[in-house]
Amino acid sequence: MSAGERAKAKAEVFVGKTVRKAAHAAHKGTLEAKGAALEARGMMRGAKERAKGSLKS
C-alpha cells in the first residue's frame, strides 16, 4: 500500500469520525450520516489497499 493512499485513507477515517461525533453532539442527523459515510469510505479505501498489497506479496 502506497504511503499516499494510506495517509488518504487514515485522513478520511479521522475526518469522518470527527464530523460524525460533532454532528451527533449538535443533533444534526444529516451531517452525522455524512460523517459516517466518509468514515466508511476511508475504511474501505484502506481495506482495498491492504488487499492489493497482500496480492502482490
Cα–Cα distance measured from residue 28 to residue 46, given in angstroms and rounded to the nearest whole number: 27
What is the residue type of 55?
L
Q: Is 52 helix (H, G, I), strand (E, B) or coil?
A: helix
For 1-52, how does the pLDDT look when each residue is reduced to its tens digit (9 = 90+)? 578 888 999 999 999 999 999 999 999 999 999 999 999 999 999 999 888 8
What's the predicted TM-score (pTM) here?
0.84
Parse the chain into domains and list their residue ranges. 3-52
3-state DSSP: the chain helix, strand, coil percent, rounded to 5? 90, 0, 10
Cα–Cα distance measured from residue 39 to residue 9, given in angstroms and rounded to the nearest whole number: 9
